[in-house]
């Protein structure tokens, strides 16, 4: 047995956050994933395949997400609202030794502006901290991605600064605003999520 055989992993889980259900993706989500990932704003801020096809969605759901979870490097959740796929939120770059992970998300165009990203990212960060003992959950947003920064702030993530040239999108390298949530933040009244 190697050290890798005993590396921690996430188990498939369903979480709820108000009207949101966060559950494992399955192939019945593929059409909606493909449609949302063809949206220009999603393409603008995420370095996903361009064009984004149904086959890309099926690979993401059937191969990428299960392998990520089984490796312990992260976990992907479908965000459902009233039976419809509203978006995807994930934990990635998971460092079990340091208990640090990063949250990421996208929201389908029809579901934007109603708190989906802020609620889902808060729920996932709280789950990582409370159920898995993580000490720090990071969130990065490009300096130009105002909606993502706003969502992070509403979720109670604390803005720490700008990591220069740290990210990439289809148009090239970007500076990233770094946010984090740590266990003590969960008790701070000023960092309670601001959900409308
Ligand atoms: C960023 C994204 C995930 C936000 O999802 P969402 O569910 O709409 O986010 P929320 O509703 O929780 O919060 C968004 C906030 O940004 C605001 N906002 C949206 N576009 C904005 C803009 N261009 N300028 C300023 N604020 C903006 C919204 O009004 C809302 O704030 P409010 O509730 O105070 O009105 C979504 O726009 C998206 O999927 N974008 C494309 C992919 C992406 O950028 N992923 C994140 C990469 S870091």
Delineate the domains of the chain, giving CATH numbers in brackets: 3-191 (3.40.630.30)
* Residue to substitute in 116, 147, 194 for testing ligand 1 pocket (most ligand atoms within 8 angstroms of CB): 147
Q: What's the pLDDT score for residue 194?
A: 87
Q: How far is the CA of 109 from the centre of ligand 1 (A)?
A: 10
- pLDDT at position 5: 55
Q: Whose CA is nearest to atom 13 of ligand 1?
A: 151
State the sign of the Cα–Cα–Cα–Cα dihedral 136, 71, 84, 21.
negative
Residue position matching structure tokens 């493909």: 34
154 phi/psi in degrees, rounded to 5 = -65, -30
Q: How far is the CA of 8 from the centre of ligand 1 (A)?
A: 33
Q: What is the pLDDT of residue 7?
A: 73
Q: Which residues line ligand 1 (CB under 6 A)?
A: 41-42, 45-46, 105-107, 112-118, 141, 145-148, 150-151, 154, 196
Q: Which pLDDT does position 119 carry in this prediction?
A: 98
Share of the chain above pLDDT 90, in %: 92
Reported as a pLDDT band with limits 50, 70 and 90, residue 2 is low
Q: How many CB atoms lie within 10 A of CB 165?
A: 11
Q: Is the CA virtual torsion 162, 65, 39, 52 positive or negative?
A: positive
Which is more confidently placed, 124 or 3? 124
pLDDT digits (tens, 9 = 90+) for 56-111: 999 999 999 999 999 999 999 999 999 999 999 999 999 999 999 999 999 999 99
Q: What is the pLDDT of residue 1?
A: 42
Flag whether pLDDT at 6 surpasses 70. Answer: no
The CA-atom distances, in angstroms, between 3 and each of 7, 61, 93 are 6, 27, 18
């Amino acid at each position: 047995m190697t050290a890798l055989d005993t590396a921690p992993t996430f188990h498939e889980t369903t979480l709820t956050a108000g009207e949101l259900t966060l559950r494992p993706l399955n192939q019945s989500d593929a059409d909606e994933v493909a449609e949302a990932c063809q949206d220009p704003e999603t393409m603008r801020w995420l370095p996903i395949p361009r064009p984004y096809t149904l086959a890309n969605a099926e690979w993401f759901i059937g191969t990428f997400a299960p392998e990520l979870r089984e490796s312990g490097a992260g976990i992907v959740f479908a965000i459902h609202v009233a039976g419809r796929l509203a978006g995807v939120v994930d934990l990635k770059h998971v460092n079990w030794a340091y208990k640090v992970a990063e949250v990421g998300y996208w929201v389908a165009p029809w579901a934007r502006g109603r708190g989906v990203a802020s609620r889902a990212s808060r729920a996932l960060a709280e789950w990582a901290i409370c159920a898995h003992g993580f000490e720090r959950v990071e969130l990065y947003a490009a300096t130009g991605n105002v909606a993502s920064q706003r969502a992070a702030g509403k979720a109670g993530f604390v803005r720490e600064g700008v990591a220069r040239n740290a990210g990439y999108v289809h148009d090239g390298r970007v500076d990233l605003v770094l946010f984090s949530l740590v266990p003590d933040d969960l008790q701070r009244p000023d960092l309670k999520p601001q959900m409308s």
